[in-house]
Each structure stands twice: as structure tokens, then as C-alpha cells.
Amino acid sequence: MEDTREIRHMAPRTDAGGEGSRGGKIVGHTGSGKPIYMNNKHPTHKEFSASDHGSAQKLHHKLSQEKTEKAVGLIGKGKPEQLDKHLASAKEHNAAAEHHSKETFIKSSKDPDKVRASLPSNKKKK
């Protein structure tokens, strides 16, 4: 029997549902197979475990480094738009990595709600 998994993966999407169909850019997948979106406002993000957040943090950190390296390679080459684009993308991935790092810490604690409430970014400013 012929293995058709690769063919199905490469075939054009014919259904209206599924991952990535509701907008958002998928940049990878967690170890458990959940899609990692560029934007953490996606509904599947709420279902992430501490391990899923750890996978997402590592991926976003790697992508931030790659975009920074591309930007460095463009310095002095007369391509300011591309340089700015790669730096902006690196900054986005870095922010996403930081978010997932924080969520890994929170979700791996014994009392996530208490930890979340105690973080400086969640306290009201006077």
C-alpha cells in the first residue's frame, strides 16, 4: 500500500476549516502538535500547556535570532526597507518568546492564578 501522507499534506486546501483557516500566520507546531501562531491572540493559545508554551518560546527565540542575522547581513547593502522589515519581525518574535516564557513559568506553578496576579505587569499602577 502506498503512503500518501506527503501528497495529502501538499494538496491544496479544499475545506473551510482547520488550522490557519481563520487567519493568523502559523510559524510552527508544539511538541504536542498544536499550531504556534505569530499572534498569541488566537483561540488555540488558551489550550496551551506549560510544555506547549515552552515549545513556542524556543521557536520564537530561534526565529528572532534568524531575523536578526538576516538584518545584520543587510547592513550597508542599500536595502533599508528589508533591513527594517527583518528587525521588526525579530522584535515581534522576541516579544512572543518573552510572553511564552512567562506563560511556561505561570502554567508550571502550583497556583497559576496567584502567580499571574503577582506579576508586575498585572498589578495596577498608582
Full domain range(s) for residue 96: 30-36+49-109
In a domain, 93, yes or no: yes
pLDDT at residue 105 greater than cutoff 50? yes
Which residues pair with residue 35 across a beta bridge?
29
pLDDT at residue 85, rounded to an integer: 95
In a domain, 76, yes or no: yes
Tens-digit pLDDT profile for residues 9-59: 333 343 455 566 556 789 999 999 999 998 878 878 888 999 999 999 999
Helix (H) or strand (E) segment spanning residue 92: helix 80-107
In a domain, 8, yes or no: no
Tens-digit pLDDT profile for residues 75-86: 999 999 999 999
In a domain, 56, yes or no: yes
Q: How many structural domains compose the chain? A: 1
Give the chain's mean pLDDT: 81
Using a 10 angstrom Cβ sphere, with 0-12 exposed, 13-18 middle and 19 or more buried, the burial of residue 107 is middle
**CA count, 13 A, side-chain hemisphere, 107:** 16
Question: Which residues fall within 8 angstroms of residue 91, CB to CB, at 6 or more apart?
Answer: 64
